[in-house]
Amino acid sequence: MSSTTTITVVATDKQKSGASPRDVWEKQISVLLDQANKHKKPYKAQFGPHNITIHPTVYSPAYFPETWWYGTHLPAIVNKGSWLEIGVGSGLVSLCIASAGSKKVSGVDINPNAVEFTAKNLQANGLKGNFTVSDIFEKVEGKFDFIFWNHPWQYDSTIPDQLKSEKTHDSEYKLLRRFVAEAKDYLTEKGVILLGTSAYANLDAIKTIAQSNGYNHKELLRGQEPIGNHVVEEYYVIELSK
């Protein structure tokens, strides 16, 4: 493991007037991705009482605050229910759920580094979970009260090339459609999907996908966090239930 790294997020100059809020947001996300991608080795960051090690190939909560926002708000919803996270990334959200007392914490990611470091981060904080390399539900076993995914928000391809990665882009929500269609086989009788999303997601498409699979669609949480350069992101947690 590397020694502790102090994270300093550097904001760019204020954007020229006349740019749309989305253009300004996309530019700032690109700035943060550039900064995060400078890490070539695992690095440490502190979130409340939790110290974690972040692998440079995952979407980093040290630069993108939605992960910690979900981690601080979702435990009150999940309580002691069983939990499955799709796309664990750094493991911070599942760590928060485990810390709050969930009876069973599981997660998957297609990135082996994400799975390895999530397990290590829970262990380093005195917690346990079951984490597996899997393409969405491919290797998931069992049923869960809550299935969470902070899904890639970007819907179409009219975005900067840097944002066209599996971390941020799901063309026409092909992966989201698959996730919602398959999730029913992994939910308990009263289980629900918790979808982490953003004001810059295609919210109409999300609602259509939910309804076409027989789910009720309800906004549970909404919040905001600054990401630098006078830009504020708005996040939602959407519940999909039968």
Which CATH number goes with the domain that contains 93? 3.40.50.150
Q: Specify if 16 maps to a domain.
A: no
Higher pLDDT, 183 or 8: 183
**Dihedral sign (CA 196, 138, 80, 180):** positive
SS3 200: coil
pLDDT digits (tens, 9 = 90+) for 214-237: 999 999 999 999 999 999 999 999
Query: Distance (Å, rounded) from C-alpha 148 to C-alpha 84?
Result: 6
Q: Which domain holds residue 222?
A: 21-241
- Hey, what's the torsion of the CAs at 26, 28, 32, 33, to 10 degrees? 20
In a domain, 30, yes or no: yes
For residue 121, is it within any domain? yes
The answer to whether position 45 is within a domain reads: yes
Mean pLDDT of the chain: 91
In this prediction the pTM is: 0.90
Q: Which residue has the higher pLDDT, 45 or 21?
A: 45
Residue 71 has pLDDT above 60, yes or no: yes
**Whole-angstrom distance, CA of residue 154 vs CA of residue 59:** 14
14 within a domain of the structure (yes/no)? no
- 108: tokens are 């998957």
Tell me phi and psi for residue 223, to 5 degrees. -160, 175
Residues 73-128 pLDDT 10s: 999 999 999 999 999 999 999 999 999 999 999 999 999 999 999 999 999 999 99
3-class SS of residue 150: strand
Read off the pLDDT of each residue in 36-64 and give the average, rounded to a whole number. 97
Q: Which residues on adjacent β-strands are paired with residue 146?
A: 83, 192
* Total number of domains in the chain: 1
Residue 11 lies in a domain: no
User: What value does the mean pLDDT take over residues 177-193?
Assistant: 98
pLDDT value of position 7: 38
Inform me whether the pLDDT recorded for 162 exceeds 80. no
Give the burial class of 212: count Cβ atoms within 10 A of its Cβ; 0-12 exposed, 13-18 middle, 19 or more buried: exposed
34 belongs to a structural domain? yes
Considering the domain boundaries, does residue 12 fall inside one? Answer: no
| Per-residue pLDDT at 12 exceeds 90 | no
